[in-house]
Amino acid sequence: MAIQTLLKTLPVVFFIISIGALIEVPISTAQAETEISIDLDRGEFVKIQARIMEIDAAGNFIVVAEKEIHIVDMVIDGHQFKTALRNEQGRRVPLESFHAGKRVYVEGIEFERDRVAASVIQHSAPAQARRK
């Protein structure tokens, strides 16, 4: 698997991905530096619909259904893998439009128990409104 390096000049996050099935992603923020390892061969695609429990102060992840939902921006095998933040109509929105208690729909890869690299985080209508 060919993996390219992506350096973003965003003030919040940048990623460097190593070559191989196991991807190590150092995350640099203004507050801390952490590393995420994603094993694509063992990762499981997940869909979650629940309320946001918490939003990380640095903006790296949110907590939904007791899982860390990581907001990512990286290149894997020549393809961009970036979390799309969307409103109920599917339009892009900033992370600031999300808050604790807000119902969301999440798709992504669970790369470790209770840790998900999100491809989509979308505002979701309350359950009663969807039934109509």
Q: What residue spans define the domains of the chain?
A: 42-131
pTM: 0.69
- Out of 1.10.1790, 2.60.40, 1.10.3470, 2.40.50, the CATH code matching 42-131 is 2.40.50
Contact 60, 71 (CB under 8 A): yes
- What tens digit of pLDDT does each residue of 7-38 get? 332 333 333 333 334 444 444 333 344 566 66
In this prediction, residue 37 carries a pLDDT of 66
Torsion angle (degrees, nearest 10) of CA 95, 99, 105, 110: 70
Q: What is the CA radius of gyration of the chain?
A: 15
